[in-house]
């Protein structure tokens, strides 16, 4: 292995590694090894950790790779063995590989400074950014499996976008995987970004209504905040302008728990209590919370790639799908009251207002008109899939529609869905969701193939 350090966090042994891979893969999935010529161009670094429980350091347990949510998500940074419920259970049975997906964390991170330093026109930057999607991420994972772990099969655990990556892995390299677990992240296949938002935008409205029903006074307070912002001349602590659209983006949290409470306490001190200005001026503390909750610093690729995770081979232009659906839904107009909050939607405005994203805007505009993308899934391979897949489908998921997930799973071989309304989208990070899936797979004999 290309080990660079090893250490403990409470209850966990961690080994850090880094490998070099091509920026642009030329690797047909029919080939068991990447051809040498694919390494002739620009290379990037991929960082990953191998995590084991303290008591299992010297045991040769089966491997599991965690496919992080996102897009543009780096691997989790555990504080202790107890800090992440799914990991606490997983390290009882596996050596767990936590990878920073290309462009994130310590894997040749891509941010606005990188984009400016590379230079080039919008088309060249768009071509560069297309190398950070699922087809490339999974080839990184497979290369690591072949070269760093002697080609041993591994299980996969995918959260949210990690479920999308799971479908790509099972499409391109099914021979690599012994079993798959997915929480809140089965994409609709065939993919269509516009269809996704037609299903999820009504959920955004419903979530906002539920929030106002729980905290009735907040409807008026949020509307007052929007009115002050609409009057103009409101800026965030870093100098970015504030629009009602940016306020609405606070709804991106509404698919998690306890998001309603977080929102309630965020606006609790929204107004300055200066003499004569009570209820007329937004407090510095609130503006700092608004900045912290809506800034893209550190998560730039999350918004840059957001709609392109639905791009597969030859398609019609995506053309700002979420924005199109929202603009045709009157409840989301900036002048509408009460204010309806927006959940997980990449909008043109945020690329203009958020200083972390402005450098990406010309390239994203080009990508929105692109019609040719990489191969993300193979529907025929998925239909004949033999790798056991155990999925937690959250019935009320605001981000990944449960009905679309179940439609896909109905056409994926050897798949098992556990449908629950007990959890929100982040159930695996807060409860024993993975433990349930693991025990279910164990009871059905689906883990006999673990090496």
Q: How far apart are the first and last CA of the chain?
A: 19
CA distance 127 to 124: 5
Q: What is the pLDDT of residue 272?
A: 86
**96 pairs with which residues across the strands?**
51, 64
Cβ-count burial 355-372 (b if 16+ within 10 Å, e if not) = bbbebbbbbbebbbebee
Per-residue pLDDT of the chain (451 residues; tens, 9 = 90+): 589 999 999 999 999 999 999 999 999 998 999 999 999 999 999 999 999 999 999 999 999 999 999 999 999 999 999 999 999 999 999 999 999 999 999 999 999 999 999 999 999 999 999 999 999 999 999 999 999 999 999 999 999 999 999 999 999 999 999 999 999 999 999 999 999 999 999 999 999 999 999 999 999 999 999 999 999 889 999 999 999 999 999 999 998 889 999 999 999 999 987 655 556 899 999 999 999 999 999 999 999 999 999 999 999 999 999 999 999 999 999 999 999 999 989 999 999 999 999 999 999 999 999 999 999 999 999 999 999 999 999 999 999 999 999 999 999 999 999 999 999 998 898 889 999 999 999 999 999 878 6
Enter the DSSP assignment of 86.
H
* Gap between the Cα atoms of 154 and 94, Å rounded: 9
Q: Give the pLDDT score at 278.
A: 59
Q: Is the model's pTM score more than 0.85? A: yes
Give, in words, the CATH class of 3-191+376-443. Answer: alpha beta
pLDDT at 276: 52
Region(s) of the chain under CATH 3.40.50.1820: 3-191+376-443
CB-based contacts of 339, cutoff 8 Å, min separation 6: 208, 219, 222, 223, 225, 226, 244, 247, 248
3 state DSSP class of 325: helix
In angstroms, the CA 426 to CA 160 distance is 8
Distance CA 138, CA 91 (A): 22
Between CA 247 and CA 227 the distance in angstroms is 11
Task: Indicate the SS3 state at residue 305.
Answer: coil
């Amino acid at each position: 292995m290309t080990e660079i350090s090893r250490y403990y966090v409470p209850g966990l042994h961690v080994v850090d590694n880094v490998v070099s891979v091509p920026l642009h893969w030329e690797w047909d999935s029919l080939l068991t090894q990447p051809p040498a010529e694919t390494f002739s161009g620009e290379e990037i670094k991929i960082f990953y950790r191998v995590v084991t429980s303290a008591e299992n350091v010297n045991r040769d347990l089966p491997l599991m790779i965690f496919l992080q949510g996102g897009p543009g998500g780096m691997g989790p940074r555990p504080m202790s063995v107890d800090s992440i419920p799914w990991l606490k259970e997983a390290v009882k049975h596996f050596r767990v590989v936590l990878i920073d997906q290309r462009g994130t964390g310590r894997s040749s991170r891509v941010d606005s400074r990188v984009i400016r330093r590379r230079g080039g026109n919008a088309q060249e930057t768009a071509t560069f950014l297309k190398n950070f999607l699922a087809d490339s991420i999974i080839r990184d994972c497979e290369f690591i499996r072949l070269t760093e772990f002697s080609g041993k099969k591994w299980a996969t655990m995918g959260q949210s976008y990690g479920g999308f990556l799971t479908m790509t892995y099972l499409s391109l390299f099914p021979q690599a995987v012994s079993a798959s677990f997915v929480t809140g992240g089965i994409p609709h296949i065939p993919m269509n970004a516009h269809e996704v938002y037609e299903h999820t935008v009504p959920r955004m409205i419903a979530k906002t209504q539920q929030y106002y029903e729980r905290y009735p006074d907040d409807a008026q307070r949020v509307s007052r905040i929007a009115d002050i912002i609409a009057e103009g001349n409101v800026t965030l602590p870093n100098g970015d302008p504030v629009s009602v659209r940016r306020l609405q983006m606070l709804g991106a949290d509404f698919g998690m728990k306890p998001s309603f409470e977080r929102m309630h306490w965020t606006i609790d001190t929204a107004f300055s209590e200066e003499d004569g200005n009570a209820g007329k001026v937004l407090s510095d503390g609130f503006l700092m919370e608004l900045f912290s909750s809506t800034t893209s610093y550190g998560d730039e690729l999350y918004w840059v790639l957001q709609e392109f995770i639905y791009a597969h081979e030859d398609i019609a232009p995506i053309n700002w799908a979420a924005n199109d659906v929202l603009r045709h839904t009157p409840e989301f107009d900036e002048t509408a009251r009460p204010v309806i909050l927006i959940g997980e939607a990449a909008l043109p405005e945020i690329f203009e207002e958020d200083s972390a994203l402005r450098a990406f805007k010309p390239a994203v505009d080009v990508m929105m008109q692109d019609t040719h993308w990489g191969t993300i899934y193979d529907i025929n391979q998925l239909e004949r899939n033999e790798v056991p897949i155990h999925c937690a489908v959250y019935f009320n998921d605001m981000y990944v529609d449960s009905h679309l997930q179940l439609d896909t799973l109905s056409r994926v071989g050897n798949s098992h869905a556990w449908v629950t309304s007990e959890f929100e989208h982040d159930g695996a990070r807060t409860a024993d969701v993975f433990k349930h899936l693991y025990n279910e797979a164990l009871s059905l004999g689906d883990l006999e193939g673990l090496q």
